[in-house]
A and B are shown apart, each in its own frame.
Chain A
């Protein structure tokens, strides 16, 4: 009799409060899993994890969402697909998270996205920018950052916003990332402006010298150089361009930070002709970005905030917004529906609003460039700005 009463009581509780049955949702907690490269050569990009976690901590300090505090479980994937699969399995099976806000490397995201789709676990991308992540469309997967298509398009548009631009050169890695970015930029330049890339060059990873590339660029005299390169090779290109007196503007990709490039090049004069994609509203080192930096360092005092630290903060704020909209009886389906209802969401950190719909989960469709002007990082939407 006692056993029967206990079963009935449990069933009544479940019916009265169905949210408790949802994985990762407790009476006073919502568990979110984060995975990113926290160690290894790609860990500079993993800084995005700390920005996202700082947003969640800040929300907790202000009382949480519908009486629940966010509990973050953080895993290191080392930008390695096999480790990412293990990390995500742990997050879903052992830690029982409600949603995953993770993935900085496109390869790791690709490795886990089908598994998460099968489990219907909401998957919000932390920083992986490949446009291929949201193609084909997956109901549970959201990309609240500018993806590679948006970035390549913005780089071309910025170059073409300079009056008289007629010759654009492109230098890229020959891997899938570099080729995809190059293809999007080439197609956009042709379609929107009727121009072809005037010179296409390769610069491989871990190269220590860019003399042949710079000499070819100097000969071709393009108006702009689009650099579809990772941070180290971008710095190498900027450094060697300065060494050989090349003054053609070089446009860097999303994964390249202005500050980091300056530190690697070690010469402000070399940065005079360098611009890089920028996703944020406030400029680096400005008073406007200071509150965001303080939010991160408040919870992670040893963290040296830079461009990548802010990358996932807009996405985290979108997650918070969707959790609020989903209401106290939180389910994964309600959360996904709430994410899809987010329109023109001004995060305050991203310079382009986040918009999702029922058939488009690429949430950020714009951006800007950033460069040093009078020694200060300055955000530029167009060349003449």
Chain B
């Protein structure tokens, strides 16, 4: 029983982690907290659905097309909606991301307002039994997809010159611009990249959650809790936070009360902000003056 709960917790946690990862990547590279990321995730899932189920493309092509579309949407949003206000107060940019969320959700509601659609699993095979643990192929894909993204972005930010440059440009944009770095170009690229991650996440998760215009809102809260728990802006922290929240939900739901599952993420946010404001892996920010 315990092993099954741990396995299911890791799957759920991976879902939260992959969304938290996208938001963390954007935060680290541009300094923007993306409150509309749940809607991007929803848009990615719907894009795959449209290309595979409506247009009739093969799944791999549909997936690639959806990622490409979301990358373009992310870049366009940055260029048209964010860049003109990026030097304003943080709250203005944050509100713009909220507006993006309403815009994308509204478009989805316009076309699919009456439907909760089923997204076929990527691999349609019977559940896999590992001892007493039951896992579906989709569960394994979610965990594997999450881990692959984490490793890729960790390597990108920690080991590549471009990754380090992006972080530096985010922290000191004026200095980066003075040495000839195209900071707005970097930012636009990162908006595209995180939108692409949203498409990947949507593709992995939609067969589990099903497709509907508001599907991203609920998971966004869990992703925020994961980021807060793990340490805001820390890639490993976002993933660790997501996994721990997934595990805790399952264990608390089984051993204490099922009513705890839904409020657990909120409890985490409250407790962490009071007891451990920088999260598990977060570092206290210090500014040299």
Contacts and interface: CB of A to CB of B under 8 A. Distances in A.
A266 interface: yes
Nearest to B127: A243
A328 interface: no
B114 A264 contact: no
A212 interface: yes
B114 A43 contact: yes
Given A208-B208, A213-B258, A215-B254, A44 B114 contact: yes
A39 B109 contact: yes
Given A207-B262, A231-B116, A264-B210, A212 B109 contact: no
A307 to B, nearest CB: 14
Interface residues of B, number: 38
B214 interface: yes
A202 B213 contact: no
Given A40-B109, A44-B116, A264-B210, A204 B261 contact: yes
Contact of B258 (A201, A219, A244, A263): A201
Contact of B253 (A46, A213, A243, A245): A213
A158 B179 CA distance: 76
Given A202-B259, A215-B254, A208 B209 contact: yes
Interface string A259-272: 01001111000000
Interface in B200-216: 205, 208-210, 212-215
A206 B205 CA distance: 13
Nearest to B218: A206
B210 A235 contact: yes
A370 interface: no
Interface stretch (B4-12, B41-49, B51-59, B93-101): B4-12
Interface string A209-228: 10111011001000000000
Contact of B116 (A207, A243, A264): A264
Interface string B1-22: 1001100100110010000000
Given A39-B114, A209-B8, A216 B258 contact: yes
Interface in A162-207: 171, 174, 201-204, 206-207
A152 B173 CA distance: 62
A207 B222 CA distance: 11
Contacts of B212: 41, 232
Contacts of B5: 211-212, 215
A235 B117 CA distance: 12
A71 to B, nearest CB: 25
Nearest to B118: A266
A206 B261 CA distance: 12
B120 A232 contact: no
B109 A244 contact: no
B113 interface: yes
**Central interface residue in A41, A47, A213, A219, by most chain B CB within 10 Å:** A41
Interface string B109-124: 1100111101010000
B134 interface: yes
Contact of A215 (B1, B110, B208): B1
B12 A209 contact: yes
A232 B210 contact: yes
Contact of A211 (B4, B15, B213, B217): B4
A357 to B, nearest CB: 36
A243 B4 contact: no
Contacts of A207: 261-262
A231 B210 CA distance: 12
Interface in B247-281: 249-250, 253-254, 257-259, 261-262
B136 interface: yes
A213 B261 CA distance: 10
Nearest to B246: A209
Nearest to B210: A264
A46 B113 CA distance: 11
A215 B4 contact: yes
Contacts of A206: 214-215, 217-218
Contacts of A231: 116
A231 B118 CA distance: 13
A204 B118 contact: no
A74 to B, nearest CB: 15
A215 B7 CA distance: 13
Given A212-B5, A212-B254, A231-B116, A174 B134 contact: no
Contacts of B116: 41, 44, 231-232, 260, 264
Contacts of A43: 113-114
Interface string B80-115: 000000000000000000000000000001100111
Contacts of B262: 202, 204, 207
A204 B109 CA distance: 22
B115 to A, nearest CB: 8
A213 B262 CA distance: 13
Contacts of A211: 4-5, 8, 250, 253-254
A41 B259 contact: no
A292 B127 CA distance: 40
A250 to B, nearest CB: 16
Contact of A212 (B113, B214, B219, B250): B250
Contact of B120 (A203, A235, A266): A266
For the complex of A and B, the 3 pairs showing the least CB-CB separation, nearest first, are A212-B253, A204-B262, A206-B218
Given A41-B213, A215-B5, 17 more contacts: A39-B113, A41-B212, A43-B113, A43-B114, A44-B116, A47-B114, A201-B258, A204-B261, A207-B262, A208-B208, A208-B209, A209-B12, A216-B254, A216-B258, A232-B210, A235-B210, A243-B136
Interface of A: 39-41, 43-44, 46-47, 171, 174, 201-204, 206-209, 211-213, 215-216, 219, 231-232, 235, 243-245, 260, 263-266
15 contacts: A40-B109, A44-B114, A47-B114, A171-B258, A202-B257, A204-B259, A208-B208, A209-B12, A211-B5, A212-B254, A212-B258, A213-B258, A215-B4, A235-B210, A266-B120
